[in-house]
Amino acid sequence: MSRANGEGSIYRRKDGRWAGAAYVLTPDGTRRRKTAYGKTRKEVSAKLAKMQESSRSGIAATPGRLTVKAFLEAWMRDVQEPRLSPATYQTYEGYIRNHIVPALGSKPLGQLTASDLREFLGAKTREGKSAATVKQIHAIIRSALQHAMREDLVPRNVAKLVVVSNPVRQEVEPLTPEEAKKLLRVAKGHDWEALWTLYVGIGLRRGEALGLRWGDVDLENGRLRVVQSLQRSRGELRLKSPKTDTSRRRIVVPSFCIDALRRHHSSERVKLASLGLPMDPTRLVFTSQAGTPIEPRNVNRAFEALLKKAKLRRVKLHDLRHTCASLLLAEGVAPRVVMELLGHSAIAVTMNTYSHVIPALQDESAQRMDALFRP
């Protein structure tokens, strides 16, 4: 039987299964013949193609000699970097570099056992790492080993045999309506007044607001588009497209936010003119005093200063997003509308995150039904 170019030799065994062989790169730089098995010729062909692709990209297909460190480096470079947001990639890389590699990196990938992982994760717990951190480390290893299994580098995903405790769910801490109003009153006249207003008014993520361009904002009709996010990754600021379709969205903007944006537009025009820079649709809405993109961490620092000035309790910047959602739900806005405004991937995310608001909504629904049917 003929075979496709580069497919390797594929044949049917006496037991009915198909098998195929191809030469792949080993950790010492030599090439070695490796066999793949499957129920159909097509399945074996696909496995051989993956083996050869991995070999070309530097992933050695000999699990007995491939270390956990070498595999994770290749997995992050070739599989995860193209699909993860810069912030998530940086988080994964930090967990791998600081936790996984020091403890497990030198171990041959094919010899990694469930017992190894239990001991490793137990040690992390004893070191005082939070349940959330341990669970995240476990999730990264599980995901990596799942890919290794698909590549026939390991026979099974041993991380699936290890159970870790779920972290205690952290309740969101939104500002109350009175606190939110006070925050925006104190922000009046601040260079970033419009930024704080958007965080409260439409619940943008930090990077989404910093990635807004004037071409994404329709001041006349009170609309804006979320099409990119500004994030720091690998030492530089990058504009990144949303990783999900739901994050890419159009938003109807409340008039108080539009008013703040109009004032900001005027002041930004003056600032850019003094710097000799054009005010065009590609220009970011929020820029530094030099007209450059804003360092995201500086927004967090400025927010802490704003809270102190307003004499409000300390909350996280992301809690302004929670504030927006909680206030809308408390005002009776449909959860589906809130989900679309925030760019959540599913209604369950919205409902689970803001479950603290649901009891009040249930009380209101009971009162409305009473009013409708009570004689």
- The pLDDT value recorded for residue 358 is 58
pTM of the model: 0.66
> CA–CA separation, 244 vs 234, rounded Å?
22
> CA–CA separation, 115 vs 280, rounded Å?
59
- The pLDDT value recorded for residue 4 is 45
In terms of Cα–Cα distance, which of 138, 173, 174 is closest to 159?
Answer: 138
Helix (H, G, I), strand (E, B) or coil at 374: coil
Which two structure tokens, joined as six digits, stand for 312?
């409000």
Q: Are 123 and 152 in contact (CB under 8 A)?
A: no
Q: Are 162 and 118 in contact (CB under 8 A)?
A: yes
> CA–CA separation, 229 vs 242, rounded Å?
7
- The pLDDT value recorded for residue 357 is 61
Separation of first and last alpha carbons in the chain:
83
Q: Put the strands of the sheet holding 217-218 in their side by side order.
A: 217-218, 223-226, 249-252
- The pLDDT value recorded for residue 311 is 96
Q: Are 207 and 318 in contact (CB under 8 A)?
A: no
With a CB cutoff of 8 Å and minimum separation 6, the contacts of 256 are: 197, 201
Q: What is the residue whose two structure tokens read 């249930």?
A: 362
- The pLDDT value recorded for residue 26 is 58
HSE-CB at 80 with a 13 A cutoff on CA atoms is 24
CA 353 to each of CA 6, 173, 197, 356: distance values in angstroms, whole numbers, following the listed order: 50, 11, 22, 8
Phi, psi dihedrals of residue 37, rounded to the nearest 5° = -125, 155
> CA–CA separation, 147 vs 71, rounded Å?
10
- The pLDDT value recorded for residue 332 is 80
In terms of Cα–Cα distance, which of 223, 217, 230, 226 is closest to 244?
Answer: 226
Which two structure tokens, joined as six digits, stand for 297?
């961490």
Instruction: To the nearest 10°, report the CA torsion of 288, 294, 295, 300.
Output: 100
Beta-ladder partners of 18: 12, 38
With a CB cutoff of 8 Å and minimum separation 6, the contacts of 89 are: 76, 80, 81, 233
- The pLDDT value recorded for residue 16 is 87
Q: What is the pLDDT along the chain (375 residues), one digit of tens a residue?
A: 444 444 457 888 888 889 988 877 655 444 567 888 888 999 988 888 887 776 655 554 455 578 999 999 999 988 888 888 777 888 899 999 999 999 999 999 989 999 999 999 999 999 999 898 999 999 999 999 999 988 888 889 999 999 998 877 666 778 989 999 999 999 999 899 999 999 999 999 999 999 999 999 999 999 999 999 998 877 788 888 877 777 889 999 999 999 999 999 999 999 999 999 989 999 999 999 999 999 999 999 999 999 999 999 999 999 999 899 888 888 888 888 888 888 887 776 776 666 666 565 556 666 666 776 776
Which two structure tokens, joined as six digits, stand for 292?
């450059």
